[in-house]
Structure 1
Amino acid sequence: MPELQVGDRRVMVEAGSNLLDSLLGASIAVPYSCRAGSCQACLLRCLAGEPLDGKPEALDESRRQQGWRLACQCRVVGDLQVEVFDPATDGIRADIQACDWLSDHVLRLRLLAQQPLRYQAGQHLLLWTDGGIARPYSLASLPAEDAFLEFHIDCRQKGVFSDAARQFKVGESLRLGALSGGALRYDPDWQACPLWLLGAGTGLAPLYALLREALRQGHQAPIRVMHVARSSDEHYLANSLAELAHSHPQVQLELIEAAALPDFLATLRPASRQTTALLCGRPETIETVAKRLYLAGLPRSQLFTDLFLPHA
């Protein structure tokens, strides 16, 4: 049986066992969320030995060369010594500049990082509380225009991070962990193609950044922005989006309540085979919309989805 070492702790584990499960089974605290290799909450560094990595492409080559791995995607195949990501030393401090409620359930959090952070619209960033709670959130800010990092946190359901977020105050600090690519981006080659952006709930956050990026780059073709929410009160960016639509004639805004989604999907057909669609939100909504678009003739290569997976 391989030996797994973390600090002074040494435990014997089954060969081929999942690294994250082995650590949790030994009562070694490791944050995790999606278990799919997307959120990067379970980042750790290999100091000796090498696990079998089932998803090496999840991390960039620079971090892999430094020994970083995602515990949820690795299996223990030999003796292994690892070091869990420590936000106090490995993370970047970020001070809360503003936190305000955009609706009854959506908290807008704006942070000022104490070190430069290079990111692109559509990416995710891991946020750590002082209590050691880590969750990934999509960036709603635009690096070319905003001095702050903006996140939209859905606090409708109880959860350890959302419960902590309700108590955030200006002047307090968080730690920034891993930055991940996300599945959404804006390609300058799309400028002459119709662009559809559909967000469900706070899945609107990265699309808000991507919309602004498309406009910044001079997107000429029509842009259709659709937001699905439980009720009219939950269209939390309605005013900001309406302002963008008013000042950019190519932008069309549609606000859809969840109860009306089936009827809306029945009429959803791309006007052009050149249409590119970016969808973001919870799987139950986004997978339904993606299936509808595919059946309506949109090629899979022009359909991009970012699923907000629930905490595993």
Structure 2
Amino acid sequence: MYDRFVARKLIDQWLTEDIGCFDLTAQLMIDPASHATFYMNAREAMTLSGIEVAADVFLRYDPACKVEMRAADGDRVEKGAVLLVVSGPGQALLTAERTALNIAQRLSGIATETAKYVDAIAHTKARLLDTRKTTPGLRMLEKHAATCGGALNHRLGLDSGVMLKDNHISVCGSIAKAVEMARRQVPALTKIEVECDRIEQVEEALAAGADVIMLDNMSNADMAAAVEIVAGKALLEASGGIRLDTIAGKAETGVDFVSTSRPFQSAPAVDIGLDDAA
């Protein structure tokens, strides 16, 4: 889910960036009294995300626009599917068109790529997690897109949980000391996660009472060994080197979660068009 109040602040920035002083072409060529209707179409199969934000782009630019939703975020649609119908002042529709398409194409690209990873581990108990490696300024929407593709959100920000990485542990002196220090002041319902890249660190994190143990760049054999050692006493997250061709093997080790930033970093924008009613 995303917050429409926050999204509208972003939309104002996007429209301001794209329009500049004014839309020269639309104001020169389009009669202010003209009315138009356009269909937003999927030009390839995709998992949809950002269609509601795209609708809000039109409505934000000109409240006289009317939008009829034909699909919803999270839907898997086929090529040719009509996603929404928008009608209203011709000038407004043509001015807001590119911004609406850009965000829907970007977010649907992430959702579509995420769904591939989710499908690849559907035969296991593991769930896919996203990361914080999002585009600056677009985290809320990109993480929304990840959930549309079937993933779960990891931390939304640094205040969403305690993640003890190697540098934190080095400063504190040991995993045990780092977890103890965090446990003293952490909010009551906030989890403490410890990053480990060796089996002995897993044993230390478990003994220290970590809620979640991240198995970072471990071999599949070591991950399977960690699953046996932990035996359900903490949640296990596989991370590092996760690609579409490796994720199934990681999930099959028995971990609870597999996290990857690949859908954020490598997803191509999907092809969505805005076509007139004719």
Higher helix residue share = 2
Higher strand residue share = 1
- Give TM-score scaled by structure 2 length: 0.33
- Give TM-score scaled by structure 1 length: 0.30
Q: Which structure ranks higher in relative contact order (CA pairs < 8 Å, sequence separation ≥ 6)? A: 2
Larger CA Rg, structure 1 vs 2: 2
